[in-house]
Amino acid sequence: MDAIEQLKKDVRDGRISLERLIELIVTQQRQLVAANQRIEELEKKDGGPPTSPTAKVDEAYSMRAEEKRQKDRNPKKNKLKLSRKSRRGRLTTADKLKLAERTEKCFPEGVPEADCYLSHTRPVWRLEQGRALVIAYEIYRGPKSQYGKIPGVLGRSEFGLEIVVEIAFSVYVIGLSFDNVCQLLQFLQNLSLGKTQVDSLLKQLSRHWQHEFDVLCTLLANSMVVHADETSWSINSVWAFVSEKARLLFFGVHKDAKTLEKILDPKTFLGIVISDDV
């Protein structure tokens, strides 16, 4: 097992903390910047970079140089050309389909396959065995406009639910910033995401779970005894409510009695609240 795979295993097993991991990433970035500056100084003294195609050792390191070396070592992959003509430099649907590891068919529930026809193909990023990959889902349509549904995907999202839940856990439970979440996904699963995408996915998840959240709030409001506790957080506070029927955590709410009244309205709540903070 090489050093990178060992590092990934240590992170998954919890032997290396996230703070230590981020420190390692920052240290490597600083060393890379210093190395690039040194290379540029040497090139200026020698009159520029070497022109010989065999002089690999003296070639300046950069992402483009590394991509060229990878293409030279893998001539078959050189045929895969991505257009990147979509907005903000993102890959188009056609390009994502070229990257797909496999294709899966999605038929409408309860409709015989013989009565269905292919409507379109959707690429979706999924997590399998600790890495991100693209799966091409062939969506079939039934005779009454029924469509096959992709399992574990929020609406028309291009990311699996497992990715969205990982992002939510990293932000709300671990307390990472959007920047750190993007770096962590890139390092551990080789998944490139921007901060706007992370924010959009969290909003999709909140809309998807809104009904379940309302049900839990109703169960909490109809409990006989509710234990409430509050603690400080990076954004306002975190409230925890535990009863015999439900358990709820509220992130980023204010530390005051008004928050308690919104969750457990005294006009309708007939139970008892046990709390050290109120």
Angstrom distance (rounded) from CA 171 to CA 180: 9
Average pLDDT across the chain, whole number: 80
**pLDDT tens sequence across 164-223:** 999 999 988 888 899 999 999 999 998 999 999 999 999 988 888 888 888 888 888 888
Which phi and psi angles does 62 have, rounded to 5°? -160, 170
* pLDDT above 60: residue 278: no
With residue 229 as reference, give the H or E element that holds it. Answer: strand 225-232
Find, among 163, 146, 167, 141, the residue nearest to 154 by Cα: 163
Question: Would you state the pLDDT for residue 229?
Answer: 87
DSSP per position, 12-36: HTTSS-HHHHHHHHHHHHHHHHHHH
pLDDT tens digit sequence for 48-71: 555 554 444 444 555 566 666 666
CA geometry: angle at 131 spanning 128 and 132, to 5°? 85
State the DSSP string of 100-149. -SEEEEEPPTTS-GGG-EEEEEEEEEEEETTEEEEEEEEEEE-TTS-B--
Kindly report whether the global pTM for this prediction surpasses the value 0.85. no
Predicted confidence band of residue 103 (pLDDT cuts 50, 70, 90): very high
Token pair belonging to 48: 């520029």
- Average pLDDT in the 229-250 region? 83
Query: How would you label 87-119 residue by residue, b for 16+ Cβ within 10 Å and e otherwise?
Result: eeeebeeebbebebeeeeebbbeebeeeebeee
Residue 239 above 70 pLDDT?
yes
Do the strands 247-253 and 102-106 form a parallel or antiparallel pair, or are they unpaired?
A: unpaired
Q: What percent of the chain has pLDDT over 90?
A: 26
**Higher-confidence position of 84 and 108:** 108
* pLDDT bucket at 271, cuts 50 / 70 / 90: confident
Tokens linked to 124: 């979706």
Q: pLDDT tier at 140 (50, 70, 90 boundaries)? A: very high
Q: Cα dist. 103→14, 61, 142, 151 in Å? A: 34, 36, 20, 14
User: What gap in Å lies between CA 43 and CA 35, rounded to an integer?
Assistant: 12
